[in-house]
Amino acid sequence: MKAVVLFSGGLDSTVLSYKLQSENAELKLLSIDYGQRHNCELASGSMIAKSLGVPHTVIKLPMLAALLGGSSLTDNSISLPLGHYAEESMKSTVVPNRNMILLSLAAGHAISLKFDTVAYAAHAGDHTIYPDCRPEFADAMENALSKADWNKINLHRPFVKMNKSDLVKLGIELGVPFEMTWSCYAGGKLHCGKCGTCVERKEAFELIGLSDPTKYKS
């Protein structure tokens, strides 16, 4: 497999990258600055790419935030919701059509490299809140990508039936440096400990009885 990984520097995409490397895939990591509130994740991504020894490209498109408004991740005037992902308020963190846009960029890069795969780390815990993490979206996107070029591009999403705790377990087995990864939607120097991604991250470690190496404000 030759794969471009849609890579945020977060826990999920880092576990995916380590998994693919363990399977001897040829990898290139692609991160995108789309004007997200938490763009500090990109610095984490660069550190992780160096630890993996894998090429890493960052596309800077911060003006996309103005086009993808209505989300607390791209509009700082909208308050970031706190609490568990299952709460209705977390829908304000949905960025309009984000994964279709980012996966399309990754696919174009893969096609130009003559790679056969785009990989992304959507998992079962994302399905309720994020429509573009659902299996049916991924199936439709893979169908579209298979027709985007003379050479077929596959959409690899091995985590769609796994939850966050499953990913942490897998990451432990793979030696993932979780302390390098960034999940918090609030940005800053430390994880806030209160936003949906922080709550989910804490919970994942707690559920499997492992110590969370993340430093939180609270």
Domain ranges (residues) in the chain: 2-207
How many residues can be counted in the chain?
218
User: pLDDT value at position 126?
Assistant: 67
Closest CA to 115 of 44, 57, 162: 57
Please, which residues have CB within 8 angstroms of residue 149's CB and are 6 or more apart in sequence? 111
User: pLDDT value at position 213?
Assistant: 95
> In the numeric block, which tokens belong to residue 48?
């992780």
Q: Quick count: other Cβ atoms within 10 Å of Cβ 26? A: 15
pLDDT in tens, 140-153: 999 999 999 998 99
**What pTM, to 2 d.p., does this model score?**
0.94
User: pLDDT value at position 218?
Assistant: 77
What gap in Å lies between CA 82 and CA 37, rounded to an integer?
Answer: 15
Report residues of the chain scoring pLDDT below 70: 126-128
Q: Which CATH architecture does the domain made up of 2-207 adopt?
A: 3-Layer(aba) Sandwich (3.40)
3-state SS class at 174: helix
Contact by Cβ (8 Å): 92, 198: no
User: pLDDT value at position 128?
Assistant: 66
Query: Nearest-5° angle of CA 4, CA 10, CA 13?
Result: 30
> Please, what sign has the CA dihedral across residues 14, 31, 125, 76?
positive
User: pLDDT value at position 127?
Assistant: 60
pLDDT in tens, 98-139: 999 999 999 999 999 999 999 999 988 766 678 888 889 999
Question: Whose structure tokens read 């432990």?
Answer: 172
Cα dist. 110→18, 137, 152 in Å? 19, 20, 10
